Homo-oligomer: A and B are copies of this chain.
Amino acid sequence: MTVIEARDSKKRILDAAISLFARKGYAAVGVREIASEAGVNIAMISYYFDGKVGILKAIIETFFSQYSQLLVNIDDKDKTLEESVRTVIHRLVQFIRFNTELTLVTYNELPLDVPEIAEMKARKVKALLKKMSGLIRRFGLDPEDILQLTMVFPSLVAMIFAHFRMRPVLKHVLDVNFDDAYYERLTGTLATLFLGGIQGLSARKQKRQKRK
């Protein structure tokens, strides 16, 4: 087996697993099925990964490493807050649009009962929040107010994911093309909702402080 073939098998296993987990759910898919979909011998899975949960970990690792790239230069001081927010939402929407299954698998496995996965995600989320602390301050939020962050960030991220989770249902509700124009308008709408929400929180905080 050449180095290129080896890389290829590993990637094929990951791609097959992402697609199967997204369609059927993690718990319903076996390693035999993944090997067969990837067109590799089942021994390859033990060779590259620590079983099925090892594949899921590698998927989550892939997601977060790409996801954190989306935050690069996001806290550029030459940009207004509005520009920064519009840029990051644009990048997120484009990323999820072209990596929908990867995103859904990472996000969907949350409610399932795999403690080591929950712990791994907790570490990833903490690291992301640390990376964003500059931006969080510009939002008028306090990066040390962990309680508030747990209320605001899952909500804002979910707002963006929601479209991709609901897409199969939306397709039945209306006859719409999810094309470039749709995603451009979606980006604008989400950025406006997000900015309005953040401004609302920050106005409320100021009002409270004045009352004191």
Q: What residues make up the interface of A, taking CB atoms closer than 8 Å to B?
A: 22-28, 104, 107-108, 110-113, 118-119, 121-122, 125-126, 146-148, 150-152, 154-163, 165-166, 168-174, 176, 182, 185-186, 189-190, 192-201, 203-204
Contact = CB atoms under 8 A, between A and B. Distances in A.
Given A118-B172, A172-B122, A173-B126, A154 B163 contact: yes
Given A111-B165, A151-B190, A25 B23 contact: no
A163 B152 CA distance: 9
Nearest to A27: B28
A7 B154 CA distance: 39
Given A150-B174, A156-B193, A189-B201, 9 more contacts: A25-B27, A108-B108, A118-B172, A122-B169, A125-B169, A148-B189, A155-B162, A159-B159, A196-B197
Contacts of A28: 25, 27-28
Contacts of A122: 169-170, 172-173
A121 B173 CA distance: 9
Nearest to A163: B154
Nearest to A194: B197
A189 B147 CA distance: 11
A162 B158 contact: yes
Which are the 5 A-B pairs with shortest beta-carbon distances?
Answer: A196-B200, A27-B28, A122-B172, A158-B162, A193-B197
A192 B197 contact: yes
Contacts of A203: 196
Given A104-B111, A108-B111, A194-B197, A151 B186 contact: yes
